[in-house]
Structure 1
Amino acid sequence: MREQLDSLGLCFNWDREVTTCLPDYYRWTQYLFIRLFEAGLAYQKEAVVNWDPVDQTVLADEQVDENGCSWRSGALVEQKLLKQWFIKTTNYAKPLLDALQDLPEWYGVKGMQANWIGKCTGCYFDFRLKVNGEETAETLSAYCSSPEAVFGGAYLAILPSHRLLNGSSAVRPALQKHFQPGRDSLTEVVAHNLFTGQDVPLVISRKEAFEDYLDTVLGELLESVWANASHIHLQFIGGTFESDFSGLSREQGFEAITQKAVQQKVGGHLTSSKLRDWLISRQRYWGTPIPVVHCGSCGPVAVPEEELPVTLPKLSLTGKGASPLEAAHDWVNCECPRPFERRLADHWLPVDVYIGGKEHAVMHLYYARFLCHFCRDQGLVAHREPFWKLLVQGLIKGQTFRLAESGQYLKREEIDFTGKQPVALGGGRVEVTWEKMSKSKHNGLDPQEVVQQYGLDTVRLYILSAAPPEQDILWNVKTDTLPGVIRWQARLWQLVTKLRGARQFEDPPNPSLLKKKELAEAKKIWQNKNYTIQEVTAHFTEDFLFNAAISRLMGLTNTLNSATARVLLHSVEFEEALAALVKMAAPMAPHLASELWAGHPVLQRGGDVLQQAWPAVDPQYLEAPDFVELAVLINNKSCGTVTVPLQASKDSGRVEQLVLESSIGQKLLRQRSIKRVILSPRTALINFLVDE
């Protein structure tokens, strides 16, 4: 892959390459996991997963096709309860939601994250389960939509699909004994509220689903009373519960109860009913090992930090059947890692730009923000947010062909294109769509083939100019975009060739030989150069609109191409603008720019173009002028210019008056009936629409 990236002219500092599958990297993943485990934020429980019975492995949702089959083996996927590791990201839901307000707008991703998290108006409380008065090892977290009403909780309700009723829990027999499908089933299992100290019965609900993704809720005894209550009355089946929270208003009780529950580490973290904890388990050999030893007497124990990383044993892999780790009886100790350095973490954080597709907006990006918030609370980093800017890139989509009846993807060579509509060579109607490139869909593209056909810089420019980075590109070279970038490269080459020819046999350029009109032309070039530098720099560093940057560079190219022969020969502004143009084109078309830079002695200033400093706007250009030269149009036709004071240049009425009083106005507008006057808000231009 590195050779392919280098062949595409992509300039990476490979000394800073990070390979996430190497122990040098994932020892820090394991280090963070141990910190999460010790903080009570990493835990295990049974959960339903997608199980491939042939490959004997768990599948992600995107690895299951629309027919419910495995993307690789083709087997019908089963829903199976397995013990899984989770990260309790719900504890950070409210801080993550609130912190979005301090971040710049991220292409709509902030709204997507806020919607993913949901309104954080409730919280979980922890319950310890008892059977026949004896505590079990089961702790259950129940969502309470009104935390201030926790003292009014009368029972704990779970769904019939709950893991306790279907998995390997020790309370399963007691629950199954009382379960009656279609009815609310009161069981002999009791839930001890670790916050209030009260016991409530466990009920199996008749419902198939609760709100959002909840499978456990705290039921309230006096719901109708709570709906109209303005103060908290701590009532239970047996009477009144004396508490520090009695007499508080509902808002005060909400704040006090959730804070105390957090302090006691029995829940209380504000979250929404739609947000779930992060399932991180991987049932594959190549996953990063979780650094936890499962002791028969002590339970899960974290591997000491000095023994990290825990690496995978070397085994013979077949690619089929159960995990090969079942045959690995020994795990070797590794070299002691160097200690965590806060100084280095603070040097690299926050990251300047996070590049990722919108499919990561509510998963990878959310989890990365969670980990950074956690590290900040642990004193590992100074910043709470890991990324400042976000670049959401679109996809390059390829054309796909599917049999209409079966949905099977076909290769292009399996299709007959001779008729009005494409059909499969073996018969059958074909559906044509554009989708994300994939081997399984036969719509991928080898970059090397395209580069050999069109040239490396042409392909780079085509991809960058086809659309803004956040939009998808339908890969079709039969568009106006490709001929456009080819013509632009030709015009750049012609510019350098023209300059080379003009300066080859003449004396050094002498600006004093330029006449007034030519000096005005040179000034226009200078202004266009500075405007282009200003715009392209902003596109590269702020909004990442590389297609707009290319468009702006094309505009400067047109200005230079229209320069008269004497301006080309004697104008310093021309050669400076051309040098800036080549420098700004270099990141996008480095090979062409290097050839252009080497093509004329005027441009060769201290080595190759890629070694040059980025062009800067001239200070004089940034100075606000006292007067502005305004173009005057009559019925959309240019009729000259008028100089107006800068302070009046945005006042439509004042500008109209000054133009009418000018020589142009007296000559061309005095006897005309003016229907409308348009003052451009972006450019120095005023247009008079008059009767012919």
Structure 2
Amino acid sequence: MSDEPTGNAEFNPQALEAKWLPVWDELELFVTGDGEGEKPRKYVLEMFPYPSGDLHMGHAENYALGDAVARYWRHRGFEVLHPMGWDSFGLPAENAAIKSGGDPKTWTYNNIAQQRASMRRYATSVDWNRLVHTSDPEYYRFNQWIFRKMHERGLAYRKKSLVNWDPVDQTVLANEQVLADGTSERSGAKVEKKELTQWFLRITDYADRLLDDLDKLEGKWPHKVLQMQRNWIGRSHGADVEFVIEGRDEPVTVFTTRPDTLAGATFMVVAPESDLAAELADKASPETRVNFRAYLDETRAMNAIDRQTADRPKTGMFLEQYGLNPLTGERLPIWTSDYVLADYGHGAIMAVPAHDQRDFDFAKQFDLPIRAVLDPTRLEGADPEVTFADIDPATASEPILGDGILMNSGELDGLPKAEAVARAIEILEGKGTGRAATNYRLRDWLISRQRYWGTPIPVIYDEDGVEHLVPEDQLPVLLPEGEGMDLKPKGTSPLGAATEWRQTTLPDGRPATRDTDTMDTFVDSSWYFLRFTDPQNPDMPFDPEKANAWLPIDTYIGGVEHAILHLLYARFITKVLFDMGYVNVEEPFEVLLNQGMVLLDGAKMSKSKGNVVLFGEQLDEHGADAMRAAMCFAGPPEDDIDWADVSLQAMNRFLARAWRLGGDVTSEPGIDPATGDRAVRQASHRFLRDAVELFEQHKFNVAVAKLMELVNTLRKAIDQGPGAADPAVREGVEIVALVLDCVAPYTAEDLWERLGHKPGVALVEWPTVDESLLVESTTTAVVQVNGKVRDRIEVPVDITDEALEALARESEAVARQLEGKEIVKVIVRAPKLVNIAVKG
């Protein structure tokens, strides 16, 4: 039988989509209960999309991988929660509305409609009854509810501080939204510093738990992501040391990880933008005050990344004030320099130039004293040829970094680092001038945004400026209609111009004004996965019982670009809700699957570069199944995919080959496959066994490759024997249909129907692997003559020595070697080896 279509049937991907999508809609195959049934449960979730136009190729990969996981677990007998929604607040909608003169809401929901249509056609097996849009009042009401709860627990507060300012989008950014090069992750603009009164969430209160609980995720999350979160939280242990400032009542607290080097401090440095720097400058000479203000303006124009660059020349100025070293009593000049940041520690440092590169560079620049207190030449294993005089930073061109034996430090002399640190803290605590402390790189989450399209902050202010939470029964605080509002970014929220909306009253009737900022949209995505468990609840963000029936999310799929922002915030909010008694888990995502990027000719796709591959065009030309299967087959999920290397035409040829099997099978359903060909059944059941491990290890590309091998085996069985009527062939093709559903559901459903079954292959449970078929019944025996391999023969695994020798002698290749020769000895190691020794 040839590999051509049976009769006049042709494989037509678009026709299969048109045929099956309405059938699936009618059958409602993927509607999920509340997890109360007897089936075990799995919660599979892809990071939800932002509705900026149609889906793109990154979405194509994300939802192909996620749906493969969801469909697999459904086949394995689990009740699967696999919901969908849109992260629909945010700047792109607002900027698009500004450009077009329209309304962000209209732009957003039009794009949602387009993406939803594409996603349905892409055949993602989601429960559309659980749809969530974060810009719906029914959703953002509970952003405000969560804010209220956090405020009640002291986790939401408002303060004046220096913030990251995006000069293009005219809004503040959280630290996590500033890229490593100091630019905005959204607009690409160079981020500036600006002083504003803003709302923060106390994520730092959870720093230790956020850090320590990462250990629970080892082996379940990519190591790279765990390390990125650990580095971002940045916990360091040391001491808070109090320096008395001459003429100032309150001492200044300095955090240091090396209190053992206190005797090496020769000056102090404060951050230019700190309140302390301004206070000290005010006490200086008129000339210094003027110079300080100019220097402060220069500093504010820089971003934190540039300020921390190691090779940048050091700048600064002496503030004409002095502090006292709490260990030695030495008088230390106080300088200000932009290499010290206001949000590190307490905004002031003790400078130990002999043992810190930046302090060393600063001391060299301004000819300040350098005194070493660590001698590395006395450490065990030190180079005996090097003496301290060779490396003394006072005369050498670099500091001594790392460890050493303490010197020039009074009672710390002769101690190694660990002992010296502990002893230094004891001395400080004894004097009442210091204590052990822990510092974090993590800063509280700044959530205020000076834009329109977001959740209004549920706070009102009385005539004295005192803040009041909007009562819970008055939530949601609705956004005023955007049509006709001036949304152009101007440094203040457009809501400030919505006079009627802004003016309100307190519960006691006194006049009040609303907060005009909106929330960071990462608040929206920090708990959306919980709303999916109870999306229509009008009274609560979710019913705890329903949420706890599904949590934690078993597999969470998305890009590594969210490793810090979204994942950190979602973990934080989950822990807060855990403390409030609303959820039973502290970590929301059990397994994290990061997919790589989809590139074109090695470059990231970008409209500005003109190298975008359009999702809709590929769907129209090649169909959903080819796209989905190709995304799964292209390589390991975490690797980048170059679209130039992907052939949807080749994938459709494979799908057609699999589909044709269904038209060629002639055996009737229900016949015991055990009566069929054993070799065919072995191939099918080995694949079935391997597919379990491959899907659960997310090796989708290998699973598809092995599925291709099985299709070829079945094609050969039909064409060359045992034939299309063999029940083992039917069993194998049914297995193809079931597993193919995970990556190409339209083809799988039609193949299932061609085999004589009713629609709904997506709900067919995984067959039991027949373990007896996995035991090898034959093996390959090597036949040697005088130690040289002359043949390899297939023999039963339970063959006797005598039978193996007889079969070896019957081999034509061996017989030629034996002809005319005397057999001296025969060594048999059944079932693997026969060695015949001859002479003559």
Contact 2:164–2:172 (CA under 8 A) maintained in structure 1:
yes
Is 1:367 the equivalent of 2:517?
A: no
Rate the CA distance shift 1:294–1:213 in 2: closer, same or farther, 3 A.
same
Rate the CA distance shift 1:319–1:114 in 2: closer, same or farther, 3 A.
closer
Contact 2:173–2:446 (CA under 8 A) maintained in structure 1:
no
Query: Structure 1, residues 23-49: CA drift from partner, whole Å, max 9, x if none?
Result: 222233223333333333333342242
- Which of 26, 39, 43 is the matching residue for 2:140? 26
Query: Structure 1, residues 158-191: CA drift from partner, whole Å, max 9, x if none?
Result: 311437658xxx999679977667345366999x
Structure with the larger RCO, 1 or 2 (CA within 8 Å, 6+ apart): 2
C-alpha distance in structure 2 between counterparts of 1:41 and 1:189, whole Å:
35
Contact 2:199–2:447 (CA under 8 A) maintained in structure 1:
yes
Aligned-residue offset at 1:100: 1.9
Aligned-residue offset at 1:546: 2.1
Aligned-residue offset at 1:118: 5.9
Rate the CA distance shift 1:45–1:661 in 2: closer, same or farther, 3 A.
farther
Partner-residue secondary structure (3-state), 2:161: strand
Rate the CA distance shift 1:86–1:552 in 2: closer, same or farther, 3 A.
same
Is 1:106 the equivalent of 2:221?
A: yes
C-alpha distance in structure 2 between counterparts of 1:45 and 1:637, whole Å:
87
C-alpha distance in structure 2 between counterparts of 1:341 and 1:470, whole Å:
35
Aligned-residue offset at 1:111: 4.0
Contact 2:280–2:321 (CA under 8 A) maintained in structure 1:
no
Partner-residue secondary structure (3-state), 1:86: strand
Aligned AA (2:779): L
Rate the CA distance shift 1:661–1:211 in 2: closer, same or farther, 3 A.
farther
C-alpha distance in structure 1 between counterparts of 2:569 and 2:239, whole Å:
20
C-alpha distance in structure 2 between counterparts of 1:42 and 1:57, whole Å:
20
Q: 1:393-472 residue pairs with structure 2 within 5 A?
A: 393-398=595-600, 434-435=603-604, 437-472=605-640
Aligned-residue offset at 1:312: 1.9
C-alpha distance in structure 1 between counterparts of 2:236 and 2:189, whole Å:
42
Partner-residue secondary structure (3-state), 1:563: helix
Query: Structure 1, residues 299-355: CA drift from partner, whole Å, max 9, x if none?
Result: 444333343333222353233243321123435799994486432332232111111
| 1:5 alignment counterpart | 119
Aligned-residue offset at 1:140: 10
Aligned-residue offset at 1:358: 0.7
Contact 2:574–2:587 (CA under 8 A) maintained in structure 1:
yes
Rate the CA distance shift 1:535–1:609 in 2: closer, same or farther, 3 A.
farther
C-alpha distance in structure 1 between counterparts of 2:627 and 2:351, whole Å:
68
Q: 1:342-353 residue pairs with structure 2 within 5 A?
A: 342-353=544-555
| 1:616 alignment counterpart | 767
C-alpha distance in structure 1 between counterparts of 2:246 and 2:478, whole Å:
41
| 1:275 alignment counterpart | 442
Is 1:639 the equivalent of 2:815?
A: no
- Which of 706, 713, 718 is the matching residue for 1:552? 706
In the alignment, structure 1 segments of 5+ residues that lack a partner are 191-200, 246-252, 255-267, 400-432, 646-654, 673-684
Is 1:357 the equivalent of 2:506?
A: no
C-alpha distance in structure 1 between counterparts of 2:609 and 2:626, whole Å:
27
Rate the CA distance shift 1:36–1:484 in 2: closer, same or farther, 3 A.
same
Aligned AA (1:314): E
Taking only aligned residues, the RMSD between alpha carbons, in angstroms, comes to: 5.2
Contact 2:558–2:594 (CA under 8 A) maintained in structure 1:
yes
Rate the CA distance shift 1:36–1:70 in 2: closer, same or farther, 3 A.
closer
Identity across the alignment (%): 28
Is 1:328 the equivalent of 2:478?
A: no
Rate the CA distance shift 1:48–1:63 in 2: closer, same or farther, 3 A.
closer
| 2:656 alignment counterpart | 490
Contact 2:270–2:336 (CA under 8 A) maintained in structure 1:
no
C-alpha distance in structure 2 between counterparts of 1:597 and 1:23, whole Å:
43
**TM score, norm. by length of structure 1:** 0.67
Q: 1:651-666 residue pairs with structure 2 within 5 A?
A: none
Rate the CA distance shift 1:326–1:633 in 2: closer, same or farther, 3 A.
farther
| 2:270 alignment counterpart | 158
C-alpha distance in structure 2 between counterparts of 1:140 and 1:300, whole Å:
31
- Which of 339, 350, 354 is the matching residue for 1:209? 339
Q: 1:135-146 residue pairs with structure 2 within 5 A?
A: 143-145=255-257
Query: Structure 1, residues 630-688: CA drift from partner, whole Å, max 9, x if none?
Result: 3346899983334558xxxxxxxxx9x9899765667789989xxxxxxxxxxxx9899
C-alpha distance in structure 2 between counterparts of 1:573 and 1:147, whole Å:
75
Compare 302-311 and 543-552 and name the one that shifted more.
Answer: 302-311
C-alpha distance in structure 1 between counterparts of 2:339 and 2:717, whole Å:
73
Aligned-residue offset at 1:527: 2.0
Aligned-residue offset at 1:102: 1.8
- Which of 469, 473, 476 is the matching residue for 1:309? 476
Rate the CA distance shift 1:202–1:452 in 2: closer, same or farther, 3 A.
farther
C-alpha distance in structure 1 between counterparts of 2:165 and 2:195, whole Å:
9
Contact 1:492–1:557 (CA under 8 A) maintained in structure 2:
yes
| 1:378 alignment counterpart | 580
Partner-residue secondary structure (3-state), 1:567: coil
Is 1:292 the equivalent of 2:471?
A: no
Aligned AA (2:495): L
Rate the CA distance shift 1:350–1:109 in 2: closer, same or farther, 3 A.
farther
Q: 1:540-689 residue pairs with structure 2 within 5 A?
A: 540=695, 542-563=696-717, 567-599=722-754, 603-605=755-757, 607-618=758-769, 620-621=770-771, 629-632=778-781, 639-644=792-797
Contact 1:143–1:216 (CA under 8 A) maintained in structure 2:
yes
- Which of 300, 310, 319 is the matching residue for 1:185? 319
Query: Structure 1, residues 114-140: CA drift from partner, whole Å, max 9, x if none?
Result: 54246633379799x9999899xxx99
| 1:421 alignment counterpart | none
C-alpha distance in structure 2 between counterparts of 1:475 and 1:597, whole Å:
31
| 1:429 alignment counterpart | none
| 1:82 alignment counterpart | 196
In the alignment, structure 2 segments of 5+ residues that lack a partner are 1-114, 296-315, 325-330, 353-372, 374-408, 508-536, 819-830
**TM score, norm. by length of structure 2:** 0.57
Contact 2:198–2:446 (CA under 8 A) maintained in structure 1:
yes
Aligned AA (2:195): L
Aligned-residue offset at 1:79: 4.4
